[in-house]
Amino acid sequence: MGLVVATKMIEIRNLKKYFPLKGGFFNSKQADVKAVEKVNFDIPEGEILGLVGESGSGKTTLGRSIIRLIEPSEGEILYNNENILNFKEKDMRSLRKDFQIIFQDPYASLDPRKKIFDIIAQGLKIHTGLNKQEISNKVKSIIKEVGLQEEHLNRYPHEFSGGQRQRIGIARALVLEPKFIIADEPVSALDVTIQAQILKLILDLKEKYSLTILFISHDLSVINQIADRVMVMYLGHIVEVASTKQLFSNPKHPYTKSLIATAPQIFRKNENKIVLKGDIPSPINPPSGCVFRTRCPHASPDGKEAKIEMGLIEVEPGHWVDRCGANCS
């Protein structure tokens, strides 16, 4: 067998998102919320790429920027070798069919006034030229795919449990036969037993429909179950990227190490783990140099990390770590 080079679904180049903070006398710009700092990565076709990090690290902003639900400040998003940030609204609209999103909160993400049928059918009406009958057939078939029944289509969101609503959210995304899905904490609001059901559903559907998925979660155990590769994010920066196996067996960055060491586990009682101190700093005023230095257990006492320039380097094939994380500790 020769070398197989996986086709890339999407390529992210120097993608940055700052939210301007306005206020004061002239409602002028006061500062920026530096949510995502020039990140670079690719997602090969058919991959589930996990994105993990604490709340506020920029996961949602990054995910939404990729499909332009949030307009990035800088950078390129290459899809079929074209930078979609140059697309006009009309071209974007056809793209929206290929790119779908599943949200964290199954309560807030479904319009309470609409019947399930209309919620799922809406995208088909906007994006396809299908007639009524064809739309109806598609909706009826997808609702079964996600483990619900045709009779559910006539009901309203409030009649469903959290897990069922998440299934509806998945049906709404999948009915358009997308190529790429952003799943933003799709199981975080669910009970463990329902969480397992939804994860299994996502995996099964991924195989069946050859999907590519960016799977966002703050829960490393979930990421370990579902992702092929993992990116670890901290304060707008990607500090480590590796295959799931590499990341969990051989974490390099002090932040990754501490996340893995502190995740509560059934069959591991480690009394003397290193618990990170303090909170994640504000992205309005992030630490200079290594952004992790204010919480890093290995930060040097002379504070030299304040002057380090961040950036990923490859430490073993396919395993990238922030430059500072690779040299230190």
Partner 1 sequence: MKNDTLLSVKNLKTHFSVGNSVVKAVDGISFDLEPGKTFAIVGESGSGKSITALSIMGLLPNNLESVDRGKILFNNQDLLTLDEKEMRKIRGNSVSMIFQEPMTSLNPVYDLSFQISEAIMLHQNKNKQEARKIAIDMLDLVGIPEPQKRIDAFPHELSGGMRQRAMIAMALSCNPKILIADEPTTALDVTIQAQIIELMRDLQKKLGMAIIFITHDLGVVAEISDTVMVMYLGNTMEIANTNKIFSNPKHPYTKSLIEIAPQISEHKREIKVLKGEIPSPMNPPSGCVFRTRCPHASPDGKEAKIEMGLIEVEPGHWVDRCGVGCGN
Ligand X SMILES: Nc1ncnc2c1ncn2[C@@H]1O[C@H](COP(=O)(O)OP(=O)(O)O)[C@@H](O)[C@H]1O
Positions that interact with Mg ion (CB under 5 A) = 60
Report the alpha-carbon distance of residue 9 to residue 71 in Å, rounded: 20
Q: Which does 293 bind (CB under 5 to 8 A by kind): ligand SF4, ligand X, partner 1, none?
A: ligand SF4
**Binders of ligand X in range 281-310 (CB under 6 A):** 283
Residue choice 6, 14, 30, 55 for contact with ligand X (CB under 6 A): 55
Q: Which does 106 bind (CB under 5 to 8 A by kind): ligand SF4, ligand X, Mg ion, none?
A: none
CB of 222 to partner 1, least distance (A): 5
Q: Cite the beta strand spans of 162-317 per DSSP E.
A: 180-184, 212-217, 229-234, 237-243, 312-316
Strand 48-52's sheet: what is its strand order?
99-102, 180-184, 212-217, 48-52, 229-234, 237-243, 319-322, 312-316
Q: Do residues 182 and 173 make contact, with C-beta atoms less than 8 angstroms apart?
A: no
For 279, half-sphere exposure in the C-beta direction (CA atoms, 13 angstrom radius) is 5
Q: Which does 72 bind (CB under 5 to 8 A by kind): Mg ion, ligand X, partner 1, none?
A: none
Q: Can residue 107 be called a binding residue for ligand X (CB under 6 A)?
A: no
CB of 13 to Mg ion, least distance (A): 23
Taken as a whole, the chain contains a residue count of 329
CB of 60 to Mg ion, least distance (A): 3
Q: Which stretch binds ligand X (CB under 6 A): 48-56, 142-150, 246-254, 287-295?
A: 48-56
CB of 322 to ligand SF4, least distance (A): 7
Give the DSSP letter of residue 305: G
Instruction: Tell how strand 180-184 and strand 212-217 pair up.
Output: parallel
CB of 191 to partner 1, least distance (A): 5
Q: Which does 296 bind (CB under 5 to 8 A by kind): ligand SF4, partner 1, ligand X, none?
A: ligand SF4
* Strand-pair partners of 1: none
Q: Rule CB under 6 A: which residues touch ligand X?
A: 19, 33, 35, 53, 55-61, 283
